[in-house]
Chains A and B, each alone.
Chain A
């Protein structure tokens, strides 16, 4: 089910959290809302969920073309996973997952046995079979996250919303769970919107990345588009792994470390190259990173393959020539 967001404004007192935000989340996609803290991404997610309401005005949220702006969160059919899971601490895992079903009015509530079956089915889906009698505090962070996901899925939501889903996990679990979520999404095909401040996570996981900044959307595109054609210096810098080269007082050139060509100082051509000195060299891994110093004192990062590094036989203190190409200013 697609999500359509049209001209949403949101202020908290005098603070502007969202300003004229419009966005289309295609049916079945996995979309990331990416931005620094305070960019409005979580507020946008909460407005889609109905946990927050947009300011009065023309703004609206549509699910599959149907306006849901006035529908309360509990009736929108959204599965919401909170950053810190928000599991019900005094309930077992099974009771947590069943909550959305046991809370239905008697006429719509499935029979006890059916609820039990559904809970087991969901536990299997999130790979936590047999843990239904445990309490949340007996689980690891990654397991809690998956219980929260199963609980959100129990109500058969039309869309799935995740707030910083991996924010509270350590690096290794994060990586595993990220891969698992991608496979999981491809299996169930539920339209999913997630918030993250981690550009690597957004680029690796999402079909569509929405970069937000200061209450507005900065750029929308596939990870490839966002990475290859950043529309603004902000996107360039926020995606990271980029050199900012000052050309003169008020213009900069952005160039990624792997886009810089390295040759011997002897082959230097002043017309389209810059002389630099190797300041630091890091080569543990498939890619070597050089930190070099230009003649005007600026530092740049340069990436090359190990083979290239070996062929050039470079070392700290060597003079080299760099071709910065004609990347976007």
Chain B
């Protein structure tokens, strides 16, 4: 037994203790709240649960959330890909600055991120009068929600891809260039296949955050019921009005979304783990 011990392995009691601590913390902070959400939502029975989900305002919040994510995730996939391509395949002045700029949304509080847009596009903002003149609504409307979501979720795809593309270098792309391939062909058949798992992972995280974003969206949305409330905002409204069952019923949608995201994420990791042997 002791002969199979690895030098970095701890003794059995220590291992059990560590596992127990980890399991305890995980159940306290992750599992318990998750169970609470579902328990609370179903406390007054299935009928009320389903009724809360069928309510018009809930339904419109779901639609708005899907729309905001549906617009901002593709945009950020595109931005993230271009940014990662730019900073990893080229060397230029201001590259380091751009790299830290990509991280800005992570560093800034979401509330500030929302307020910046109100400052720019709000009724009393810099472009407010001009927008009002041309009858364009950004703040307290879908465009504002999308802009805020795009801003907050920008780093996910780029951050996932940059280390990956950095480690792969530009050799394969250069080989393709000497073989006569054009830019699009290189991207499609050389770059994309080698980053597809990282990209998918980044898009998943970006999507999860886009649907769950609260702070920045809360500032720009204006909380107009049935119009500019996304799902997280709608849940807050219900909760503040003491409609706990309805609030938790809606919360289950977000919780389920998180679970599905995690499921796909582990599937992606499993699949990419099988192909990563080819990285040598």
**A positions within 8 Å CB-CB of B:** 49-51, 72-75, 78-80, 82, 84, 86-90, 99-100, 103-104, 135-137, 148, 151-152, 154-155
Contact A99 B194 (CB under 8 A): no
- Give the residue of B171, B177, B178, B185 whose beta carbon is less than 8 angstroms from that of A79: B178
Contact A90 B194 (CB under 8 A): yes
The 8 sampled A-B contact pairs (Cβ below 8 Å) are A50-B178, A72-B177, A74-B177, A88-B176, A103-B185, A148-B175, A151-B179, A154-B179
For the A-B complex, the count of residue pairs with Cβ-Cβ distances under 8 Å equals 69
Query: With a CB–CB cut-off of 8 A, which chain B residues contact A74?
Result: 177-182
**When chains A and B are docked, how far (Å) is the Cα of A79 from the Cα of B178?**
7
Chain B interface category by residue count: 20 to 34
- Give the residue of A49, A104, A135 whose beta carbon is less than 8 angstroms from that of B278: A135
Query: With a CB–CB cut-off of 8 A, which chain A residues contact B171?
Result: 82, 84, 86
Contact A136 B185 (CB under 8 A): no
| Shortest distance between the CB of A103 and any CB in chain B (Å) | 5
Query: With a CB–CB cut-off of 8 A, which chain B residues contact A86?
Result: 171-172, 174-175
Contact B178 A90 (CB under 8 A): no
Query: With a CB–CB cut-off of 8 A, which chain A residues contact B185?
Result: 103
Contact A51 B178 (CB under 8 A): yes
Q: Which residue of B lies closest to A77 (CB)?
A: B180
| Shortest distance between the CB of A260 and any CB in chain B (Å) | 46
Query: With a CB–CB cut-off of 8 A, which chain A residues contact B275?
Result: 90
Contact B178 A99 (CB under 8 A): no
Q: Does B277 contact A (CB under 8 A)?
A: yes
**When chains A and B are docked, how far (Å) is the Cα of A137 from the Cα of B171?**
16
Contact A80 B180 (CB under 8 A): no
| Shortest distance between the CB of A91 and any CB in chain B (Å) | 8
| Given A82-B171, A86-B171, CB of A137 within 8 Å of CB of B176 | no
Contact B174 A51 (CB under 8 A): yes
| Shortest distance between the CB of A206 and any CB in chain B (Å) | 22
B227-256 contacts to A, CB under 8 A, are none
